Amino acid sequence: MTATLDTVAVTTGKRRRELPTRRRPRTTGGGIAASVFLWIYAFIAIAPLLLMVSNSLRTMPDMAANPLGLPLPPNFASYQKAWVTASFETYFLNSIMVTVGSVLLSTAVSLLAAYAFARTRSRMFTALEGVFLSGLMLPVYLAILPLFYLLDSAGMTSNLLSLILVYGALGIPFSTFVLSSFFRQLPIELDEAARLDGAGSFTTFWRVHLPLVRPAIATVIVFRFVPVWNDFFYPLILIRDQTKYTLPVGITRFFGEYQTDWATLFAGLTLATIPLVVLFLIATKQIVSGLTAGMSK
């Protein structure tokens, strides 16, 4: 009996030792080169931002003496000057209102349109979807002249609502294209199960499909937020009142004809960059899920 137990123990020990162990993937030369390249690219991309933040914490004499120096000690007077004296607070709030309003408008309309296009099979909806997507092929700046005359005749120039409507309309084709692709990936069995439970079309959309396309919604919001926040063209053409300027147009007032307060300018640019950084940090996980959806089964 003892010999049998010893044999089993030895055999079990051998089997345990023979079990395959998980090996770490070997790092090849190509992987090392790709990592080095990505780190170099990241440094090149971040270096201008770090220089901008550093110079925003310095004084003009210090910057003139040593343009690449460090802010020792840091000086926050330029931020106060940009926020209060240079009316940066007004421009910032205008940009928030225009960007958030236009993104919410385009996303809401695109969600309803994309759901209808993805779940309805008819020639009329197919043709209508082609009309929606044709907006991706048209240069938006070619429509500025008739758009300006239209808004001017309606008395909507120098009005933030005009910018919200214009940006919202311009974002619908792209948002509809992305969201309809995600809705088509959802199985039709979800709709059938919802109908068996007595849910209507809107209830199925709101409670079943909408939570499943959150990565796509986050992707659409970020990809529309950034160009609207940074756009310079439409506010310059459609807005005449300086109190209604958005950030890209308002920051141009920091440039002087003979002299420019670079510290205040860099402080304004830093404040304008903060919302974009915060948005990417919050939505990074959803963006990656949205961009990689459907790549693996």
Domain boundaries, the chain: 40-75, 87-292
- Cα–Cα distance, 74 to 266 (Å, whole number): 14
The pTM assigned to this predicted structure is 0.79
Residues in the chain: 297
pLDDT bucket at 14, cuts 50 / 70 / 90? very low
Query: At 16, is the pLDDT very low, low, confident or very high (cuts 50, 70, 90)?
Result: very low
pLDDT above 50 (res 53): yes
Fold of 87-292: MetI-like fold (1.10.3720)
Helix (H) / strand (E) element for 181: namely helix 160-185
**Exposure b/e, 9-37, CB count within 10 A at least 16 = b:** eeeeeeeeeeeeeeeeeeeeeeeeeeeee
pLDDT digit string (tens) for 131-188? Answer: 888 778 878 788 888 888 888 888 888 889 999 999 999 999 999 988 988 898 888 8
Question: What is the residue-wise DSSP string for 96-146?
Answer: HHHHHHHHHHHHHHHHHHHHHHHH---HHHHHHHHHHHGGGTS-GGGGHHH
Instruction: Give the model confidence (pLDDT) of 91-112 as tens digits.
Output: 999 999 999 999 999 999 999 9
pLDDT in tens, 199-238: 888 888 888 888 888 888 988 998 899 999 999 999 999 9
User: Nearest-CA neighbor of 221 among 286, 165, 269?
Assistant: 286
CB of 129 within 8 A of CB of 180? yes
For the cut 80, the answer to whether the pLDDT of residue 24 exceeds it is no
User: Does residue 282 have a pLDDT over 70?
Assistant: yes
C-beta separation of 201 from 120 below 8 A: no
- Cα separations in angstroms, 180 against 65, 207, 270: 56, 17, 36
Q: How far apart are CA 201 and CA 187, in angstroms?
A: 15
| Selection from 61, 59, 80, 83 nearest residue 71 by Cα | 59
Determine how many CB atoms are found less than 10 A away from the CB of residue 174.
Answer: 18
Residue range 249-266: mean pLDDT, rounded:
76
Confidence class of residue 12 from pLDDT cuts 50, 70 and 90? very low
